[in-house]
């Protein structure tokens, strides 16, 4: 009964704050933040189920590196565009380290090496870009996020990615839970596990790269991990955990947006603080 009351309260707050936000800020901003919250709210429990928090929160490092390399490759080849190259590179990088983990390499070791490589590569590539090219791509937007300058095209792309992530997470939620709980048994009973792993790592990479300019390097670290952690403190059911994660993500994003507009601060900061408050509240609830 208490679990249902928590979900009810979170649902009411999410509905009321979203409705109020539509009245006081441009609808495009609200749409971006709700879509962003849905994407990370559904993805975060899958990350938690697979016990890949370390890899997930370091994926933005790979995204930053992929975007920098994408700019360089596009400048050299003038094929496709920077975003397309960034997605290709990011998906390859995350899949490489992900499959090493799936093959039995210690996740902490694999991710540490991965972060060292991508962090150092990002600094080198970004320094080279800023010193050699005059580009329109705003590197500060990649770090802090720039959701308030969103275009209709950005919303359409974000909506498509969000829909794909939500469908993937719902359909494969049970498999992700089983992989995290008993990976050896799943490897023996599921012949195409490598395909599910590839789909998960690809979704994780695209979710990070595609939203990096809107959400920002800093905020992605928060939204990839905290919603599922909050949910795990509030419920023991995997189904309810996904719902609580989504509602926590929506509340953090919308309330954070309203505070950012009111105080004229970066949304990444206010959303992060609201997510932290919800996490502390979940600790009190668990205690």
Asked whether residue 180 carries a pLDDT value surpassing 80, the answer given is yes
Asked whether residue 213 carries a pLDDT value surpassing 80, the answer given is no
CATH number at residue 251: 1.10.3470.10
Find the domain containing 250 and state its range: 2-286
Query: Quick one: pLDDT at residue 189?
Result: 82
Contact, 138 vs 147, CB < 8 A? Answer: no
Closest CA to 212 of 67, 115, 81: 67
Asked whether residue 162 carries a pLDDT value surpassing 80, the answer given is yes
**pTM metric for this prediction:** 0.88
Query: Quick one: pLDDT at residue 140?
Result: 60
Asked whether residue 135 carries a pLDDT value surpassing 80, the answer given is no
What distance in Å separates the CA atoms of residue 61 and residue 51, rounded to the nearest whole number? 19
What distance in Å separates the CA atoms of residue 18 and residue 143, rounded to the nearest whole number? 26
Above pLDDT 90, what percent of the chain? 45
Q: For the CA atoms of 65, 66, 68, 74, what is the dihedral angle to 10 degrees?
A: 160
Q: List the single range of 4-18, 34-48, 215-229 with lowest mean pLDDT.
A: 215-229
Query: Quick one: pLDDT at residue 200?
Result: 94
More confident residue, 80 or 251: 251
Domains held by the chain: number: 1
Tell me the per-residue pLDDT of 214-248, one tens digit each, with 9 for 90 and over: 777 778 888 888 999 999 888 878 778 899 999 99
């Amino acid at each position: 009964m208490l679990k249902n009351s928590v979900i009810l309260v979170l649902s009411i707050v999410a509905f009321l704050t979203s409705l109020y936000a539509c009245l006081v800020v441009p609808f495009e901003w609200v749409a971006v933040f709700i879509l962003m919250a849905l994407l990370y709210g559904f993805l975060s429990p899958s990350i938690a189920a697979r016990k890949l928090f370390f890899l997930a929160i370091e994926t933005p490092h790979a995204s930053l590196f992929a975007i920098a390399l994408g700019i360089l490759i596009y400048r050299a080849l003038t094929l496709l565009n920077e975003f397309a190259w960034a997605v290709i590179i990011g998906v390859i990088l995350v899949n490489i380290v992900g499959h090493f983990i799936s093959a039995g390499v210690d996740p902490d070791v694999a991710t540490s090496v991965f972060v060292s490589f991508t962090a150092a590569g990002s600094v080198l590539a970004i320094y080279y870009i800023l010193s050699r090219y005059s580009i329109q791509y705003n590197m500060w937007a990649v770090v802090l996020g720039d959701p308030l300058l969103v275009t209709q095209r950005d919303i359409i792309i974000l909506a498509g990615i969000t829909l794909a992530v939500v469908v993937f997470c719902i359909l494969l939620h049970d498999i992700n839970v089983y992989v995290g709980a008993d990976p050896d048994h799943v490897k023996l009973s599921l012949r195409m596990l490598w395909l599910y792993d590839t789909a998960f790592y690809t979704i994780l990479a695209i979710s990070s790269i595609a939203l990096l300019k809107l959400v920002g390097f800093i905020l992605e670290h928060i939204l990839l991990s905290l919603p599922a952690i909050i949910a795990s403190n509030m419920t023991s059911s995997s189904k309810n955990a996904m719902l609580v994660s989504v509602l926590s993500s929506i509340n953090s994003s919308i309330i954070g947006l309203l505070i950012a507009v009111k105080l004229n601060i970066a949304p990444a900061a206010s959303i992060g603080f609201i997510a932290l408050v919800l996490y502390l509240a979940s600790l009190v609830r668990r205690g």
